[in-house]
Structure 1
Amino acid sequence: MACKSTVAAFFFFFFLISLIEPGLSYEIQSVESDCTNRWIHIRRLPSSFNLDLLTNCSEYSLYDNFCPYLLNHGLGPKTHNRSHSWYRTDPFLLELVFHRRMLEYPCLTQDPTLANAIYLPYYAALDALKYLYGPEINSSSQHGLELYKYLRSDAAEIWDRYEGHDHFLVMARPAWDFSQPLNIDPPLWGTSFLELPEYYNVTALVLEARAWSWQEQAVPYPTSFHPSNLHLLESWLKRVRNSRRRSLMLFAGGGGISATPNIRRSIRNECQDNTTDDDASVNLNNQQICYIVDCSNGICEHDPIRYMKPMLQATFCLQPPGDTPTRRSTFDAIIAGCIPVFFEEQSAKSQYGWHLPPEMYDEFSVFIPKEDVVFKGLKILDVLQSIPKAKVRKMREKVIELMPRLMYRRHGSSLVLKTTKDAFDVAIDATLERISSRLKDVSIQ
């Protein structure tokens, strides 16, 4: 019953938005000084491609019930009643969060011929559930075809104008989940959305991109921190800057318990070796050497209280790859002012170029090749303890400087906060630049 009431409330919200969307967009445009080359048209899609998908929030027995996390337009419920900025956010609901923020974008136009880009409010990750966990698992090559048929049958001139090169959408899962080769029998994991020739020209914003594809670009995983005004953001930045770092390094995650050599097992072994007694667990700076937050079986996924306080008290946060190279924990750590330690370039450096320029990585993070740790006996502790204190302080300041552009602020934020670009703003600016460049490259303009 609670799930149904949650979805009903969510539907009611979007019903209201559908009535006031034009007025909302034009009202906000009045505070924007220049929309030149920044106009976006939101393509109106049947509800079967977005809102109707929310009614299945508890339908898939092999997938978590995401009904409770639809609250607050996809940010999830607050961590506690008095919270102003912290929510139990599910990162796979980024499509809803992004859609809500798009309705506040200051340069919306109802005329697609005036638009520099076309946004498709299609909840691709939610629609994929029926192929990943539901009854259509053997038809995963069909994912996206119904949308394409609609785009070509309803106002086809919008698509045909640039053959989809000016279109973009958000797909709130790693690109690997949409990259199953066509005509594979039996089907492998995932759907074939990104393998369909029909979508080769569309820009897809995903949580993790493939290294070779030009279709997608990785954007930050949503954390649980969504401030609504500048005061709340500055208060958190002050807390992060003043937090006492009692642990040298921290790992928040699961895995590492198998007998097979891997980076997570090496991390756990090194942490256990340095926490066997009081003398071994404290270094010369009176810090605990290693701290583990056990997040096995997904117990941390919607509970930021479990890991944010330990991250606030740690100097370095270890970010080993898991099933895929990237981790939401990377962004949780940065929000906590904890310097990330990467073991694969695919974990971030070759992923989030819009938000974390590759040339900056030495300024805010540490890279240790996982092969050196797993197979050559390199100790993570030795690497981290060799970094001078002055450099550590500079790295933390850089992390704090980058923090605002990696968070997704709450919808309806004050205009003062809107002068600070967040992950959404950075993604939109870069998407517009990407589409403009692509149109020039294909000589369509």
Structure 2
Amino acid sequence: MATTKPMIITLSFIIFFFILLNSQRSDLNPDCSNRWIHIRNLPTQFNLDLLSSCSHFPLFTDFCPYLTNHGLGPKTHNHSHSWFRTDPFMLELIFHRRMLDYPCLTSDPSAASAVFLPYYAALDSLRFLYGPDLNSSSHHGLTLFQFLQTHHSKIWDSRHGHDHFLVMARPAWDFSQPISIHQPPIWGTSFLELPEFYNITVLTLESRTWPWQEQAVPYPTSFHPPNTAFFDSWVSRVRRSRRTTLMLFAGGGGISASPNVRRSIRLECDNNSTNLRIRNGSSGYSKLCEFVDCSYGICEHDPIRFMRPMLKSSFCLQPPGDTPTRRSTFDSIVAGCIPVFFEDQSAKSQYGWHLPEEQYGEFSVFIPKEDVVFKGLRVLDVLMSIPRGEVRRMRDKVLEMMPRVMYRKHGSSLALKNKKDAFDIAVEGTLQRIKSRLKEVGMK
């Protein structure tokens, strides 16, 4: 017997969403100078309707359960207030919901410093990546552009899109297929290759190195506190956690015969699983390395699987995989586990707004992957050589950076809103980038 498609989005959810969407503030607030944002009222085909396709793509994990709590996903357990089974690809929905809480919204686009497009680009891309439009991926985004050109076109035309921004909850590479018909088809759509959208600012989970308009923002973790009490409670737990493991790698891969940094890490971890106290009683560690196998996505919606080991580890290894960046980087910061990077593209050249480049030496360790793979440098030797006092200072800095990479829960307390989180920093960076760009092209 046929089953009914799960209806994760209830009618009340949609009504609430639209009430908020159409309740943009127009009251004057002196604190909003140069910070006004207008949310473009897009047809539901560009956002809400896409959520109803949550079970339509068999090659992609059914994401219906992760739409709950406005994209934060279901709670990890019934009594949880801060922890959710968050899917990082729900960032568009999370960001949209948080935009509705933004204190400087205006219904007058001519008074706005920026215009937000609540377009769920990554969700819309699924029909091009896996669905019926697989062979027409160069069309991704054209319907949106046609709408912007034909409905209240002055909003777009006044600044030719330079003041518009949107969020794409996938790496930029997934939207970078060449448009030319002479190019062989590759993975992805061509949204970021469309000249029509060259002027907009795009927030992605991972950016390419050259286009000016892309900026990487943190992957959502599972930690979304609603108030300072829950945030401070978690920080206290992280601070007092006993770090009995030197280093941890939570991830998959590294099983191929060809040389790569993940393979080197797994081999090193397998070869050094002996009790450290036997070799060095003063180390304070009972384990050199722990490997949490997250192959086939088994950790993606189960933060307990990797968060508990991270709380017990001093260093969390962040080797590149299919792409340079990893959600695990931000999970480790939330756990107070010092990230260890093996190439700059994994974070340093990506998340400059949230993790300032000049501070990386204060909260992370860098080990060139070439030295590990081809020169026999052992990761544990590098980490063991760091003085314990320096490790403590680095962990304190990690805790200081934590609010900058978390997305607090929508509707959070006023006190917690005073701590700038990943969303706040992304909006500030976007406004500054748009302001600089408009000045550069001679527009006000």
Normalised by the shorter chain, which TM-score bucket? over 0.9
Is 1:321 aligned to 2:323, yes or no? no
Is 1:363 aligned to 2:365, yes or no? no
Is 1:386 aligned to 2:379, yes or no? no
CA contact (8 A) 1:24 1:104 kept: no
Query: Is the alpha carbon distance of 1:89 and 1:246 closer, same or farther for their aligned partners in structure 2, counting shifts above 3 Å?
Result: same
State the Cα distance separating 1:279 from its structure 2 match: 6.3
CA contact (8 A) 1:226 1:409 kept: yes
Length-normalised TM-score, structure 1: 0.96
* Structure 2 unpaired stretches of 5+: none
Q: In structure 2, give the amino acid aligned to 1:223.
A: T
Query: Is the alpha carbon distance of 1:283 and 1:196 closer, same or farther for their aligned partners in structure 2, counting shifts above 3 Å?
Result: farther
State the Cα distance separating 1:14 from its structure 2 match: 2.9
State the Cα distance separating 1:315 from its structure 2 match: 0.1
Which SS does the other structure have where 1:56 is aligned? coil
Which SS does the other structure have where 2:353 is aligned? coil
State the Cα distance separating 1:25 from its structure 2 match: 4.1
Q: In structure 2, give the amino acid aligned to 1:212.
A: W
Is 1:424 aligned to 2:439, yes or no? no
Q: Which residue of structure 1 lines up, in the alignment, with residue 251 of structure 2?
A: 253
Q: Which residue of structure 2 lines up, in the alignment, with residue 194 of structure 1?
A: 192
State the Cα distance separating 1:193 from its structure 2 match: 0.3
Length-normalised TM-score, structure 2: 0.96
Q: Which residue of structure 1 lines up, in the alignment, with residue 19 of structure 2?
A: 19
Which SS does the other structure have where 2:7 is aligned? helix
* Structure 1 unpaired stretches of 5+: none
Query: Is the alpha carbon distance of 1:110 and 1:24 closer, same or farther for their aligned partners in structure 2, counting shifts above 3 Å?
Result: closer
State the Cα distance separating 1:19 from its structure 2 match: 2.5
State the Cα distance separating 1:110 from its structure 2 match: 0.2
Q: Which residue of structure 1 lines up, in the alignment, with residue 298 of structure 2?
A: 299
d(CA) in 1 for partners of 2:397 and 2:274? Answer: 34
Q: Which residue of structure 1 lines up, in the alignment, with residue 46 of structure 2?
A: 49
CA contact (8 A) 1:274 1:280 kept: no
CA contact (8 A) 1:40 1:108 kept: yes
State the Cα distance separating 1:261 from its structure 2 match: 0.6
CA contact (8 A) 2:140 2:191 kept: yes
d(CA) in 2 for partners of 1:235 and 1:88? Answer: 20
CA contact (8 A) 1:363 1:398 kept: yes
Work out which of the residue numbers 163, 167, 174 in structure 2 matches 1:166.
163
State the Cα distance separating 1:276 from its structure 2 match: 4.9
Identical counterparts, % of pairs: 66
d(CA) in 2 for partners of 1:280 and 1:217? Answer: 47
Work out which of the residue numbers 259, 270, 273 in structure 2 matches 1:272.
270
Is 1:240 aligned to 2:238, yes or no? yes
d(CA) in 1 for partners of 2:68 and 2:5? Answer: 10
d(CA) in 2 for partners of 1:101 and 1:58? Answer: 25
d(CA) in 1 for partners of 2:390 and 2:30? Answer: 40
Q: Which residue of structure 2 lines up, in the alignment, with residue 309 of structure 1?
A: 308
Query: Is the alpha carbon distance of 1:261 and 1:114 closer, same or farther for their aligned partners in structure 2, counting shifts above 3 Å?
Result: same
d(CA) in 1 for partners of 2:406 and 2:217? Answer: 11
CA deviations on 1:365-388 (whole Å, 9 max, x unpaired) are 000000000000001011001111
State the Cα distance separating 1:2 from its structure 2 match: 7.8
Work out which of the residue numbers 187, 207, 222 in structure 2 matches 1:209.
207
Q: Which residue of structure 2 lines up, in the alignment, with residue 113 of structure 1?
A: 110
CA contact (8 A) 1:341 1:365 kept: yes
CA contact (8 A) 2:24 2:106 kept: no
Superposition RMSD on alpha carbons, in Å?
Answer: 1.6
Q: In structure 2, give the amino acid aligned to 1:124.
A: A
State the Cα distance separating 1:21 from its structure 2 match: 4.2
Which SS does the other structure have where 2:167 is aligned? strand
